[in-house]
Amino acid sequence: MADLKIPSNLLPVGVLVVSMAVAWGSTQFAVADNAKETARIEKIVIETSKKQQETNRSLAITETKVAAIVESLARQEKIQEKTNDQIQALVQVLLSQQQ
């Protein structure tokens, strides 16, 4: 077997090359992992946005229904007032006829 001899003045260069290779590899892994994480987060944001839009639609429909109910109750209250006035007038007429 042949012995591989490295001059001692090239040893720091070798360490530098190995360090750079490790740093480059870990950076490439981090970039790939970040791309996957970004895609995952993007999907979550899109789904959340769709659900929020559906919720907003449901809320608008509910508000419209509540407004219609309030309006209907206000009309019923007015009708009840008129009915009470008419009954009171009728009772007064009946009482005046009895006297």
* Averaged pLDDT, groups of 10, the chain, 99 residues long: 72 84 84 84 92 88 90 92 91 85
Contacts of 14 (CB under 8 A, 6+ apart): 6
User: Which pLDDT does position 2 carry in this prediction?
Assistant: 66
In one-letter notation, the amino acid at residue 56 is N
Q: Taking the complete model, does pTM exceed 0.85, yes or no? A: no
